[in-house]
Amino acid sequence: MNNEILNQVHANLQKKNVPIKKIEQEWSKLKYVVLEKSPNLYNEIRQLLTVKVGYSRDEFLRLIELALTIEENTGNAVNALQHVWGYFKKLASDDEKASFEKKLQDYSSGSESLSELKSYLQVLSVKYDRKYLLKSYYFQSK
């Protein structure tokens, strides 16, 4: 799946002189994928994009490629899952909250997969019409 994401990002940013706005649009779709892999790279990319003049598309792509090669780390994944959960925590029913907490605990202990948790959050994204998440690459990176 990560190769598909990377191919899509490269296709969307194929021009050497791509405007910063286009890179920022890609970043909005990638940020939870990167956060799941490496909070340090997430912060590095955020810092890179604060430079509105003289920014580097190639450096952005290099950092994304690097992030997508990192193996799953439970702590980093939990951090990203909790950030994504923030889109629902005020909307979700008590049962949905309890289900998320149980699934998160099960994932942390190794008895549930990351893809199962992400599928649950994807269902909530559809239910609560969270277009921002549904347009992102996060649910593709199972």
Show the DSSP H helices in 17-129 as ranges: 20-37, 39-48, 57-69, 74-85, 94-109, 114-127
User: Once rounded to an integer, what is the mean pLDDT over residues 114-139?
Assistant: 97
Q: Residues, the chain, total?
A: 142
Query: Of 47, 69, 91, which residue is a domain's last?
Result: 69
Distance CA(64)–CA(29), nearest Å, equals: 12
Distance (Å) of CA 114 to CA 105, 107, 121, 136, 141: 11, 7, 11, 17, 10
Other C-beta atoms closer than 10 Å to the C-beta of 77 total 19
Q: What is the CA radius of gyration of the chain?
A: 16
Distance (Å) of CA 75 to CA 20, 72, 135: 31, 9, 25
Instruction: Quote the pTM value.
Output: 0.93
Q: What does the pLDDT look like over 26-35, one tens digit per residue?
A: 999 999 999 9
Distance CA(38)–CA(134), nearest Å, equals: 21
62 with 86, same domain: the answer is no
Query: Of 69, 95, 115, which residue is a domain's last?
Result: 69
Kindly indicate the confidence band of residue 83, based on its pLDDT and cuts at 50, 70 and 90. very high
Range of the domain at 90: 74-140
- Side chain identity, residue 7: N
56 with 18, same domain: the answer is yes
Q: What does the pLDDT look like over 21-80, one tens digit per residue?
A: 999 999 999 999 999 999 999 999 999 998 877 778 999 999 999 999 999 999 999 999
65 with 6, same domain: the answer is yes
Q: What does the pLDDT look like over 96-110, one tens digit per residue?
A: 999 999 999 999 999
55 with 78, same domain: the answer is no
Total count of domains within the chain: 2
